């Protein structure tokens, strides 16, 4: 469990200040189960609730609460003490947006003089809430100042 309260201040060329406040609660957990010496299952999950508060003056212009969750399942199968394969899949759900899938498959091996790993991955990257919620006037002002 994590409780946090981060803050950011940006100063525009006209000396106005934009203030962001991002209080957050995060719950996360992982568990492993090994039905045999040659197979380990891994399950993970997290849930996040974050308020996004933005203000230029004394009062917030908006302060919505956003929720997100992620669940994952994977396995590891060793071929011996120095090689193996694994796979993971995860579903990422975010309030007000469609869910996305991530997946990875890996194979690895090592010897006394060699170590190698090959990963195949399909992943996504979401913009942050600050990226998504910054007012248009701020974005246009930043680009016009260059």
7 in Cβ contact with 24 (< 8 Å): no
Predicted local confidence at residue 129, as pLDDT: 73
Residue 97 CA from chain centroid, whole number: 14
Contacts of 24 (CB under 8 A, 6+ apart): 2, 3, 4, 5, 6, 48, 49, 50, 51
- Strands 39-51 and 53-55: what pairing? unpaired
Rounded Cα distance between 73 and 70, Å, is 10
- All structural domains of the chain with their residue ranges: 2-144
The pTM for the full model equals 0.72
Rounded Cα distance between 112 and 48, Å, is 43
- Average pLDDT over every residue of 123-138: 73
Of 73-77, 105-109, 123-127, 135-139, the poorest mean pLDDT is in: 135-139
Question: Any alpha helices (H) in 30-128, and if so which ranges?
Answer: none
Nearest CA among 48, 49, 54, 64 for reference residue 7: 54
Predicted local confidence at residue 57, as pLDDT: 74
Q: Is a pLDDT exceeding 90 seen at residue 77?
A: yes
């Amino acid at each position: 469990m994590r409780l946090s309260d981060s803050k950011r201040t940006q100063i525009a060329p006209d000396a106005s200040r934009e203030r962001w406040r991002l209080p957050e609660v995060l719950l996360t957990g992982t568990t492993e189960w090994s039905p045999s010496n040659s197979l380990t299952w891994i399950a993970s999950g997290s849930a996040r609730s974050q308020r996004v508060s933005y203000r230029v003056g004394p009062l917030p212009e908006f302060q919505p609460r956003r929720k997100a969750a992620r669940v994952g399942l994977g396995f590891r199968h060793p071929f011996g003490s120095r090689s193996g394969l694994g796979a993971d899949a995860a579903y990422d759900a975010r309030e007000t947006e469609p869910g996305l899938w991530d997946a990875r498959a890996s194979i690895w091996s090592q010897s006394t003089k060699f170590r190698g790993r090959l990963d195949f991955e399909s992943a996504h990257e979401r913009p942050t809430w600050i990226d998504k919620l910054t007012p248009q006037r701020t974005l246009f002002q930043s680009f016009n100042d260059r």
